[in-house]
Amino acid sequence: MLFYRSWVSEKHSIENKSQLLYHFMTKEEYLLLCEKYLSGNASTEDEELLLSHRDDFNIQDFHNHDEIEDQQLIKQRIFDRIESTRNNNIKKMFPKYRWAVAASVFILFATGLFLFKNTGTQTHTVASVPQKVKPILPGGNKAILTLADGSTIDLNAATNGIIARNGKAAITKKQNGQLIYSQNPTANVVDSKTAYNTVSTPRGGQYEVVLPDGTQVWLNAASSLKYPTQFKGIERHVVLNGEAYFEVAKNKNMPFTIEANNVNIKVLGTHFNVMAYNDETIVKTTLLEGSVLLSNSTNNALLVPGQQANVENSGGKFLVNYVNTDDAVSWKNGYFTFRRENMISIMKKVARWYDVDVTYQNDVSRVSFGGTVSRAKNIEELLNKIELTGSVHFKIEGRRVIVKL
């Protein structure tokens, strides 16, 4: 684990175990000892040393997280398992492998990963994700632009610069995965009717769009945004399918409205995230700044910063709660953030970002996972981190991920 090796000098050694048994062990030494288990170089004395210092370090020493209490409980289970293994006199074929699993799970706590299994038992062995010749890479800046006449432009293949004109709007592609609409009021063009464009991201894609009014929109994977090339009339209206983060340009004379499935969102100028996928049962709106008014055919809700509203796609009442808004927009900042999230919900996000299909061999609805993982990692790295906990396992066949207990 290079993350921890960078903390420890190469000349630092803990080979003299008897000496360390009689002086305070540092955090770095403790982590280095855990690494020895992972590398399969742990001796019986190493095991005794780790156990002798089990109470010297708390999860707080390595990591600040809201779920410390749950992590402490799981840490206790790990060391209970270690002691149980040591007291068992029956010979095991691979004893050090079991120690590697225990140490692996502990180090996952230090990096902010932890898994909760709501059933009473856990699997003790861990199956590695098969390594493929062609690894499944993370998503990137990919999208299709559909113009008003129905023609399409692959933004991934298009060259940088002005790629199209619609009426008085010039459409420019930037190098960093950004599409910008700019108006030329002096252009000798008569706009007889409003022209609409659509930006669509595939599974494994994301893109940023700067609308004609200056509003910035970040589209997540498997999402689309339909909008006019020029805002006219009494409102600025767009249609969203999927997930997007909005930073709406202020214009008190022309409210910005979003249609997301059966939910209508009205704002003047604000920052918020909307998740409205067709394969999800809930539309989620999370407000970071300003205020938004949500409505459907029967109800409405006014959000203030820090609140999230959930409502079923089919309609009904809005359930409003205060949340950690950073979690809702972590995808925009390059991370998966899961907070005791159901494994099925997690795998939907994984499928969208890595463009894979997911099948289940067992019921994993009672397995939940929490942690933060970079979206820049290959899928094998992500699944291996989850799998090291021993409570869920993955098998990759082509672009299909099989999930089992």
Summarised one tens digit per residue, pLDDT across range 214-238 is: 999 999 999 999 999 999 889 999 9
Provide the token pair at 181: 């609409």
Q: Choose between 17 and 351: higher pLDDT.
A: 351
Structure confidence at residue 57 (pLDDT): 52
Provide the token pair at 216: 């910035």
Structure confidence at residue 20 (pLDDT): 37
Residue 186, SS3?
Answer: coil
Pick from 154, 150, 151, 214: which is nearest to 180 by CA? 214
**Where in the chain is CATH 3.55.50.30?**
335-404
pLDDT 10s digits, 27-83 = 556 666 665 654 556 677 777 776 666 655 544 444 444 444 444 544 455 455 555
Q: Which amino acid is at 294?
A: L
pLDDT 10s digits, 350-388 = 999 999 999 999 998 888 888 889 999 999 999 988 887
339, 346, 373, 287: CA torsion to nearest 10? -60
Arch. (CATH architecture) of 140-328? Sandwich (2.60)
pLDDT 10s digits, 228-283 = 999 988 999 999 999 999 999 999 889 999 999 989 999 978 999 999 999 999 99
Question: Region 296-325: what's the mean pLDDT?
Answer: 93
Statement: residue 18 has pLDDT above 50? no
Structure confidence at residue 36 (pLDDT): 60
Residues of the chain above pLDDT 90, percent: 50
pLDDT 10s digits, 155-212 = 999 999 999 988 778 999 998 899 999 987 666 555 567 889 999 999 999 999 999 9
Q: Which amino acid is at 263?
A: V
In whole angstroms, give the CA distance from residue 95 to residue 198: 58
Pick from 254, 147, 236: which is nearest to 195 by CA? 147
**Long-range residue pairs from 282-291, CB within 8 A, at least 24 positions apart, any chain:** 282/310, 282/311, 282/312, 282/313, 283/310, 283/311, 283/312, 283/313, 284/308, 284/309, 284/310, 284/328, 285/260, 285/309, 286/323, 286/325, 286/328, 286/329, 287/325, 288/325, 288/329, 290/248, 291/267
**Where in the chain is CATH 2.60.120.1440?**
140-328
Structure confidence at residue 22 (pLDDT): 38
Q: What is the pTM of this model?
A: 0.69
Percent helix, percent strand, percent coil in the chain, to nearest 5? 25, 35, 40
Using a 10 angstrom Cβ sphere, with 0-12 exposed, 13-18 middle and 19 or more buried, the burial of residue 220 is buried
Question: What's 335-404's CATH class?
Answer: alpha beta
Question: Region 90-118: what's the mean pLDDT?
Answer: 46
Q: What are phi and psi of 62, to 5 degrees?
A: -110, -15
